[in-house]
Amino acid sequence: MKRDFLRCLAGAAAGVLFTGTSTFAADLGVAPLAPLPVFTWTGFELGAQVGGGSGRTAVNIDGDPFLAPPTGPASATYTDSGVFGGIHLGFNYQLTAPIVVGVQAEYNFAGITGSASATPLNFVSTSIREFGSVDGRVGVAFNRLLIYAIGGFAYGDIRNQIQLAGLPSGVIRFFSVNRYGFDVGGGLEYNFYGNWTARAEYRYYDWGTLGFNDAGFGGAVSVSIPNHTTRETLHTGRVGLTYKFAWPYASPGVARY
């Protein structure tokens, strides 16, 4: 009986102690701890990327037997490769579910080249000097990790050279034009510190097939490459660093994913 009384007395004392402590803290104006903020992908962003690319050029020439010298049908397919680097600018919006949508524009300087020989061609080459895109992004966020798909409109400054066999080495036809097509790919982006994120991404570019009707040179050597087409595609891999121009955290009430 005495033990039960002592236990009840000790429990009552502990309750009074904890109640008094809480009341004392409230009297001092000490606020309760707020929930930790949650990272959000919403905001504008600016960054830079570097990477490498490997593509394919396919050249097909109908030929013209009435030229001097005459040209016959010819084709060549070869690989282009090299490196590139540039900048990107975009905006992301994180929905209430862990879905992130956004838009992005990018521009790249490039040194991607390739060449081949194929009779009656003595030399064909391709040089991609620059390329860029305007894309949409959609991804799934796992707190600071974003897994996304990307794709949209792409352009490229692509320059081709063709030299016919049997002509002097200096007689080369140049074909330079901006090409337009599409790009598609996917990647991972991770917020590693404050407003900074790092990304790794794969992208495929397809600039389609473009036809040329070449009137040729006049003068002592008449050279033309009529009715020829080129098709350009490119696979790329890149890494990038991005800064987000927004508070990196949402309100505490947003659910964590």
In the prediction, which pLDDT does 62 show? 75
In the prediction, which pLDDT does 256 show? 43
Q: What is the pTM of this model?
A: 0.79
In the prediction, which pLDDT does 177 show? 85
In the prediction, which pLDDT does 183 show? 98
Q: Along the chain (257 residues), what's the average pLDDT of each consecutive run of 10 residues?
A: 50 48 50 67 96 95 59 82 98 92 98 86 90 98 96 96 72 84 98 95 96 62 71 97 78 46
Q: Domain spans of the chain?
A: 1-33, 38-246
Q: What angle do CA 58, 181, 232 make, to 5 degrees?
A: 15
In the prediction, which pLDDT does 3 show? 54
Is the Cβ–Cβ distance between 83 and 52 less than 8 Å? yes
In the prediction, which pLDDT does 17 show? 42
What's the CATH fold of domain 38-246?
Answer: Porin (2.40.160)
In the prediction, which pLDDT does 72 show? 62
In the prediction, which pLDDT does 198 show? 98
In the prediction, which pLDDT does 18 show? 46
**Distance, CA of 144 to CA of 190 (rounded, Å):** 6
Reduced 3-state DSSP string for the chain: CHHHHHHHHHHHHHHHHHHHHHHHHHHCCCCCCCCCCEECCCEEEEEEEEEEEEEEEEEEECCECCCCCCECCEEEEEEEEEEEEEEEEEEEEECCCCEEEEEEEEEEEEEEEEEEEECCEEEEEEEEEEEEEEEEEEEEEECCEEEEEEEEEEEEEEEEEEEECCCCCCCCEEEEEEEEEEEEEEEEEEEEECCEEEEEEEEEEEEEEEEECCCCECCCCCECCCCEEEEEEEEEEEEEEEEEECCCEECCCCCCC
